[in-house]
Amino acid sequence: MLGWALTFLVVALIAAALGFGGIAGASASIAQILFFVFIVLFVVAMIARAVRGKPPV
């Protein structure tokens, strides 16, 4: 999922450089949403691992 966020970020940067403001804004928004979803899932996984008794990596 982090790969998708980075992909959309790159698309947003390229679109912004070429002057496509609408596409750049949409891609940046998607990248931001995917990044935050990734962070939330990561934190949930770390909490679940700690609850099961395994030390964090």
- pLDDT at residue 40 in the model: 94
- State pTM to two decimals: 0.66
What is the Cα gyration radius of the chain?
Answer: 16
Segment 46-55, tens digit of pLDDT: 898 889 887 6
Cβ atoms of residues 15 and 23 within 8 Å: yes
What is the reported pLDDT for 36?
A: 92
Higher-scoring residue by pLDDT: 3, 36: 36
pLDDT tens column, 9-44: 888 888 888 888 788 888 888 888 988 999 999 999
